[in-house]
Amino acid sequence: EIAEFFNRPTAIVFSTGYTANLGVISTLADHNAVVLLDADSHASIYDACSLGGAEIIRFRHNDVNDLERRMVRLGERAKEAIIIVEGIYSMLGDVAPLAEIVDIKRRLGGYLIVDEAHSFGVLGATGRGLVEAVGVEDDVDIIVGTFSKSLASIGGFAVGSEAMEVLRYGSR
């Protein structure tokens, strides 16, 4: 049902939002990966990147110019880089400049993961989060979220393409 709600073919449910980030990101962000993440990212994102062994490159909070500079410096590696942002940042309550981040991804390559933990149920016409509100559903590779905020429940999730099936076996 969660995959259907997000108009995605695949969904994986986890015990918490924290473990959703841990499972998805640590599986994808292995020792061969480069991850660009917003400096104000949640601890679960940092923990997942460290657990996976990826090279971590932080860009200044919500600074698309800094993100683009760092992507350009990667050269050909940018095409395989993983960009991770949050829909709404929990500490400051501000939103990611997602349209601009998607523009950078379109031009330079990479994969985009958006953590909608604090924007799921809050933003977008049907509550699917910032990705829906900005209208970039086709440009975001994986959406991660939690049921513990707007739904006052427990559990986490990740939704994406059929290629995400590999996460079902790799994430723990």
For residue 90, indicate whether it is catalytic.
yes
Catalytic member of 41, 105, 149, 171: 149
Task: Map out the domains of the chain with their CATH numbers.
Answer: 2-170 (3.40.640.10)
For residue 79, indicate whether it is catalytic.
no
Q: Which residue has the higher pLDDT, 161 or 86?
A: 86
For residue 118, indicate whether it is catalytic.
yes
Instruction: Tell me 54's DSSP state.
Output: -
Catalytic member of 90, 105, 119, 153: 90
Catalytic member of 26, 41, 105, 118: 118
Q: Structure pTM?
A: 0.93
By the 8 A CB rule, do 12 and 171 touch?
A: yes
Instruction: Tell me 110's DSSP state.
Output: -
State the pLDDT confidence band at 65, using cuts at 50, 70 and 90: very high
Mean pLDDT of the 148-166 span: 80
Integer Cα distance of 171 and 11 in angstroms: 13
Mean pLDDT of the 110-129 span: 92
Residue type (1 letter), 5? F
| Mean pLDDT of the chain, nearest integer | 91
| Alpha helical stretches, state H, 30-171 | 43-52, 64-74, 98-108, 130-134, 165-170
